[in-house]
Amino acid sequence: MKKSITLILILLLTAVSFAQDSKFIYATMDAADAVYFKTLHPDEMTILASNDYQAAVFISEEVTHSIHDNVTTHGPGYIFRSSKEKALEALERVEPKKLLIDYTITEDAFVNECLDLVDGQKIEDVIRVLEDYGTRYHTRPQAEQAVLDLQTRWDNMISAAGRTDIHTRIFTHVNTPMPSVILTIDGANTPDEFVIIGGHIDSTASPSDDDAPGADDDASGIATLTEMVRVLLAKNFVPNRTIEVMAFAAEEVGLVGSDEIAAKYAVDGVDVAAYVQFDMTAYKGSAEDIYITTDPYNSTELNDFLMELMDHYNGSGAHAFTYGTTICNYGCSDHASWANYGYNAAFPFEAAFGEHNPNIHRAGDTFAFLNNTDHAVKFAKLGLEFLIEAAKPQILSVEDFSELAMNIYVKNKTLNYQLKNTASNVKQLEIFNVAGQKVFSDALNNASGEVKLEHFSQGFYISKFVLENGHSLTQKFILN
């Protein structure tokens, strides 16, 4: 789709009369779709303004259903706007400068330890809990209850892990009675840089169906996010950047929850390094496993990074799976909200365009239809790879790093060290695991010595020697 900043104002006809019994909303939608739906529903729709990419519209509830059912493969196909001004403002929005993130793959050992822990049964458990609420439509009380219960589930996981650097909060919305819930893992070194993943916890049914268990759409995404958190807690992961996990309200009625949150982050000037959406992870409908959506509002850089991660970690071996690319169209899912505010956003999807779960938005969107979590497990793995490599484990401050300044070697589970410059002594030795957690600390007073590490498990560690002169020396070592 081409983008143009040229606004074509279309004058409102004063004589337009709307159906009396229909509720109207302001929204933005694909510009070409807007023209098409205007011909289908001339009295139910007004195009307020448009550019080459999107249109600001005033549409009836019937039109929103018509768009939802006919346009896109997944999402509502429009983005709710709370007023005419907000709809017009969305067309004029200038993309803010994106935070530059240095995408690198450096955490092999730790990532692979995490991938080994992903458990499909845990994903199934959460999907089954969510589908048991019945329809989680945003105006129903059980939708709010599902959010509050998910917060309790996350809180219990955090307190069981004994973590005080992780917390949850409820985000209350203006345009829906349903709240969203956000889990935050504080970044140890650069807490002002955010790496965010999310999915929507509401569900919807087509008008003919009054039940929408929403097992795949999107209990599967929420369950997949929860499994990522479980694994990171099990490995005591301390990130360098702040990680947030979000379960959004009211995605199905125009990305309402995610739009309000992304708008607040943009107004507050929050540096969101990257946003990745998990919406439908459990149905394998295409030849490949994960499909990266390449709509123009998605970040090409971030998409490339996700594909590099899969090339690196999932090309072969125990965690192998395949990927392809597809498109999902305007307002496809909550990542579009983040993209609207100029953030780098991506959306790995369960299948190619049109080959996704045929039962979504119906009573048949159940776990029984999905049958297993083999597909969702792959998304949990990609999500972990992304979180760990994008947020990075805690980086230890190194004031005077030089490999020449200190000799270390490990033999028979004993760390031997020798300071080359004997003008200063070592006064403290600290050892950290690959997750950045301190696993050893001892006061010393010498220039060389040895430390027994018999109780340590195999793997990479980082030694930090603090010297009398206040400098510190850091070196990585492997324990066999």
279 forms part of the interface with Zn ion (CB under 5 A): yes
What letter represents residue 173's amino acid? H
Measured from the CB atom, the residue of 193 and 251 that comes closer to Zn ion is 251
Q: CB of 279: closest distance to Zn ion in angstroms?
A: 4
Using CA atoms, how far residue 414 sits from 408, 450, 451, 479, in Å, is: 10, 6, 6, 9
Interhelix angle 374-391/220-234, rounded to 10 degrees, is 50
Number of residues that bind Zn ion (CB under 5 A): 3
124 forms part of the interface with Zn ion (CB under 5 A): no
Of the candidate spans 11-19, 52-60, 214-222, 285-293, the one that interacts with Zn ion by CB under 5 A turns out to be 214-222
Among 107, 131, 202, 217, binds Zn ion (CB under 5 A): 217
Of the candidate spans 51-59, 85-93, 211-219, 232-240, the one that interacts with Zn ion by CB under 5 A turns out to be 211-219
Of the candidate spans 40-48, 138-146, 188-196, 209-217, the one that interacts with Zn ion by CB under 5 A turns out to be 209-217
Neighbours of 478 (CB within 10 A): 10
131 forms part of the interface with Zn ion (CB under 5 A): no
202 forms part of the interface with Zn ion (CB under 5 A): no
Of the candidate spans 215-223, 284-292, 376-384, 389-397, the one that interacts with Zn ion by CB under 5 A turns out to be 215-223
Contact present, 418 and 439 (Cβ < 8 Å): no
334 forms part of the interface with Zn ion (CB under 5 A): no
113 forms part of the interface with Zn ion (CB under 5 A): no
Using CA atoms, how far residue 376 sits from 37, 207, 224, 368, 408, in Å, is: 35, 28, 7, 15, 43
What is the Cα–Cα distance from 282 to 378, expressed in whole angstroms?
9
Measured from the CB atom, the residue of 289 and 365 that comes closer to Zn ion is 365
Q: In this structure, is the dihedral angle defined by the CA atoms of residues 395, 464, 237 and 382, taken in order, positive or negative? A: positive
Measured from the CB atom, the residue of 245 and 426 that comes closer to Zn ion is 245
What is the Cα–Cα distance from 462 to 444, expressed in whole angstroms?
17
Measured from the CB atom, the residue of 218 and 259 that comes closer to Zn ion is 218
218 forms part of the interface with Zn ion (CB under 5 A): yes
Measured from the CB atom, the residue of 218 and 244 that comes closer to Zn ion is 218
Closest CA to 395 of 436, 343, 429: 436
478 forms bridges with which residues in the sheet?
Answer: 460
Name the DSSP letter for residue 176.
-
Looking at the annotation, which residues are catalytic? 200, 217, 251-252, 279, 361
Q: CB of 200: closest distance to Zn ion in angstroms?
A: 6
Residues found near Zn ion in the complex (CB under 5 A): 217-218, 279
